């Protein structure tokens, strides 16, 4: 979920979905730290049975930081964890290391566990350092058998078995459980991890919001809203990395966070989801879609187009995944018409309207195809230098008229900035007004971005005696006139023809 609800997008979802709630790194320690723990000097690890017994008796297995003397011991995390990017995996600004939020750590306590006590893996003080967001645990070499550690937060759960010599970082809001230790002991140092906001290389205007908990899954409503926002770079969809480690994963084999992400997308009901095999840059094996989730009911034509289209045209980061890995490719179902293209979409709509086929293209109704087409094919781009329009408007208008849904016609006129673009559309408009009534279209007519050919045809029909055309011309031409003159000034090509048409309009307007 985005920190700013207004900015939530599918890219936000893709980023947050793969952000971990915890991470484990094996540290390459330059030297094994020594320490004086409550008066006992420790120079080697694992701890001897005598040292374990003494510390368990004196401190109940938890030695406070104030009773630990050793500079090297305090700086374990500084020397290893940061360099190995353990905490950096929880960075709110991933991928921009030069401007990541800086971290600092503070030793909380040293602990010995002989039973499987999860409470010892978390600091107990009620007053942590300012801006504390995570806990970091360094596990010393030990004699522990058993004691698997599980870190969980909402839909994310990860279990770690082998921990000696490793640094485990997790958000402080996570739940921690430890399996019973069947023999031996485990010793570890526990640290607070806090943001060092003053040391971060961000200016106040662009400083990212610090995260103090893992990113929750977005609500269904958030996903549905995001599906209606176009990608700023024009891509159809997003990729989502997978935690599931398998050479041949299937949708049924996904577990944990991966399953939760897929289930939430499916519950939103507005996405196509495909499982993709990553490509290999060193061979002729590009990334390719392996399967679509059956609950998405992606039409066969969509699947065919998808298999024929390079994955890089769907999402801008598909190249970041390496073979033989797998990832999810997700796009809003509304993009099906974009994949189909304008001509084939019109052909599909026409075939449905004429009764040749009954195919809603997975939208649930013909109405859904029309709405998706309005979104991706209109408004028609325009420039200051108007040219003879393509029949892109006429083709859709014709299908809409034959379909006979006045609500869709109104929606079409509302989203298409330049629908009144030629003489044919003037004839179409009069047919619509006669069929459905002029009053409901009056405001749209008065504010329409009309073209010179459109108005010239309307005036021509009015002067020929068409009563409805006369009414529209009398009401609207005075309102359109300043805009028409502006278009005339801006037009370079076909100026003589445009002047003649404007003269015809002026003559009709005066008479």
Average pLDDT over residues 335-341: 93
Q: Give domain limits for the chain.
A: 20-199, 220-338, 378-510
With pLDDT > 70 as the criterion, what percentage of the chain qualifies? Answer: 83
First to last CA, the chain: 62
The answer to whether residues 314 and 364 touch, using CB atoms and an 8 Å cutoff, is no
Query: Residues 14-40: what's their mean pLDDT?
Result: 84
HSE, side-chain direction, 13 A CA sphere, residue 395: 19
- What own/partner pairs with CB < 8 Å and gap ≥ 24 does 174-178 have? 174/21, 174/22, 174/214, 175/151, 176/118, 176/121, 176/122, 176/149, 176/150, 176/151, 176/152, 177/118, 177/149, 177/150, 177/152, 178/113, 178/116, 178/117, 178/118, 178/121, 178/147, 178/148, 178/149, 178/150
The radius of gyration of the chain's CA atoms, rounded to the nearest angstrom, is 33
Whole-number pLDDT of residue 199: 65
Q: Is 317 exposed, middle or buried (0-12, 13-18, 19+ CB in 10 A)?
A: middle
What is the pLDDT, as a whole number, of residue 502? 53
Q: Which pLDDT tens digit goes with each residue over 458-505?
A: 999 999 999 999 999 999 999 998 888 877 776 645 555 555 555 455
pLDDT band at 275 (very low <50, low <70, confident <90, very high): very high
- Rounded CA gap, 425 and 422, in Å? 6
Q: Are 13 and 226 in contact (CB under 8 A)?
A: yes
**Model confidence pLDDT, tens digit, residues 277-312:** 988 766 567 888 999 999 999 999 999 999 999 998
* Nearest residue to 302 (alpha-carbon basis) of 333, 275, 327: 333
Above 50 in pLDDT, residue 2? no
Tokens of 106: 């503070």
Whether the per-residue pLDDT at 383 is higher than 50: the answer is: no
Pairing label, strands 132-139, 166-171: antiparallel
Higher pLDDT, 138 or 379: 138
Instruction: Check residue 321 and give its pLDDT.
Output: 86
277: phi then psi, degrees, rounded to nearest 5: -90, 125
- H helices then E strands: how many in the chain? 17, 18
6 pLDDT more than 60: no
* Residue 151: predicted pLDDT: 97
- What are the start-end ranges of the E strands in 93-144? 102-113, 132-139
In whole angstroms, what is the distance from residue 469 CA to residue 280 CA? 63
The lowest-confidence range among 154-168, 247-261, 477-491 is 477-491
Gap between the Cα atoms of 295 and 271, Å rounded: 10
Which top CATH class is 20-199?
mainly beta
Q: What is the pLDDT of residue 304?
A: 94
How is residue 454 written in tokens? Answer: 């459109």
- Note whether 157 and 243 are within 8 A (CB): no
**pTM > 0.85: yes or no:** no
Cβ contact 431:475 at 8 Å: no
Q: What is the mean pLDDT of residues 31-56?
A: 88
């Amino acid at each position: 979920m985005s920190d700013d609800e207004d900015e939530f997008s599918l890219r936000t979802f893709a980023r947050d979905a793969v952000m971990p709630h915890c991470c484990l790194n094996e540290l390459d320690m330059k030297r094994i730290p020594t320490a004086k723990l409550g008066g006992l000097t420790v120079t080697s690890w694992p701890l001897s049975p005598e040292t374990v017994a003494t510390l368990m008796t004196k401190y109940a297995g938890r030695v406070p930081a104030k009773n630990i003397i050793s500079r090297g011991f305090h700086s374990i995390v500084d020397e290893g964890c940061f360099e190995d990017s353990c905490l950096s995996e929880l960075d709110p600004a991933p991928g921009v290391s030069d401007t990541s939020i800086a971290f600092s750590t503070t030793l909380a306590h040293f602990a010995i566990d002989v039973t499987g006590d999860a409470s010892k893996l978390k600091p107990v003080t009620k007053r942590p350092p300012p801006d504390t967001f995570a806990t970091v645990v360094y596990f010393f070499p030990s004699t522990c058998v058993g004691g698997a550690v599980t870190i969980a937060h909402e839909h994310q759960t990860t279990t770690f078995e082998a921990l000696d010599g490793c640094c485990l970082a997790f958000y402080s809001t996570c739940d921690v459980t430890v399996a019973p230790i069947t023999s031996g002991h485990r010793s570890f140092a526990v640290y607070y991890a806090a943001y060092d906001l003053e040391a971060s290389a961000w200016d106040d205007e662009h400083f990212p919001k610090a995260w103090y908990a893992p990113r929750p899954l977005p609500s269904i409503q958030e996903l549905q809203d995001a599906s209606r926002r176009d990608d700023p770079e024009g891509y159809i969809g997003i990729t989502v990395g997978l935690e599931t480690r398998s050479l041949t994963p299937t949708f049924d084999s996904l577990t944990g966070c991966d399953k939760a992400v897929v289930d939430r997308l499916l519950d939103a009901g507005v996405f196509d989801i495909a499982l993709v095999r990553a490509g290999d840059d060193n061979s002729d094996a590009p990334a390719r879609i392996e399967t679509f989730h059956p609950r998405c009911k992606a039409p066969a034509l969509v699947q065919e187009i998808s298999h024929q289209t390079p994955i890089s045209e769907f999402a801008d980061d598909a190249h970041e995944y390496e073979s033989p890995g797998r990832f999810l490719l997700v796009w809003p179902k509304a993009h099906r018409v974009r994949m189909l293209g304008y001509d084939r979409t019109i052909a599909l709509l026409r075939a449905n309207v004429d009764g040749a086929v009954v195919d809603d293209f997975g939208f649930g109704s013909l109405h859904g195809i029309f709405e998706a087409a309005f979104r991706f094919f209109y408004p028609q781009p325009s420039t200051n230098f108007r040219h003879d329009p393509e029949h892109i408007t006429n083709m859709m208008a014709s299908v809409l008229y034959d379909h006979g849904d006045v609500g869709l016609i109104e929606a079409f006129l509302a989203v298409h900035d330049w629908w009144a673009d030629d003489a044919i559309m003037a004839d179409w408009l009069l047919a619509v007004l006669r069929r459905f009534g002029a009053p409901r279209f009056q405001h749209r007519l008065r504010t329409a971005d009309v073209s010179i050919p459109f108005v010239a045809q309307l005036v021509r029909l009015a002067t020929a005696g068409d009563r409805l055309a006369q009414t529209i011309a009398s009401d609207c031409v005075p309102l359109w006139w300043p805009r028409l003159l502006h278009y005339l000034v801006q037009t370079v090509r076909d100026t003589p023809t445009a002047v003649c048409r404007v003269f015809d309009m002026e003559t009709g307007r005066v008479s």
